[in-house]
Amino acid sequence: MIERTTVRLPSVLLDRARKKAAADGRTLTELIEQGLRLALKADQKAPKDEPVRYPRISSAKGWLLPDINLHAIQEMEDIEYVERMNRDFKD
């Protein structure tokens, strides 16, 4: 069922909406309807207040988690350093 309603809008906004609707080849009603649908759809997709998830922290004192490989990290940093130096010296 389609209903009529009255909406109070600032004249500047209403003028812009009329121009936009005309440029798109549709009515002001269609433009307003689409805008409302988009606004309501966005509310449905808004993420719920999820708890903040922090990374795991080791309970061990003074060292990293057991599954962290420092040698692999160092190798990756070395490779990045060499690539960066090659780029810098080519220019």
Residue 61 domain-assigned? no
Residue 35 domain-assigned? yes
Residue 20 domain-assigned? yes
Identify the residue with better confidence: 13 or 54: 13
Q: Residue 27 corresponds to which amino acid?
A: T
Alpha carbon distance 71, 77 (integer Å): 10
On whether the pTM is more than 0.75, the answer is no
Q: Which range of residues forms the domain containing residue 17?
A: 11-45
pLDDT of 43 reads 65
Q: What is the distance in angstroms between the CA of the first residue and the CA of the last residue of the chain?
A: 68
Number of domains in the chain: 1
Task: Reply yes or no on whether the pLDDT at 62 is more than 70.
Answer: no
Residue 90 domain-assigned? no
Residue 1 domain-assigned? no
Residue 84 domain-assigned? no
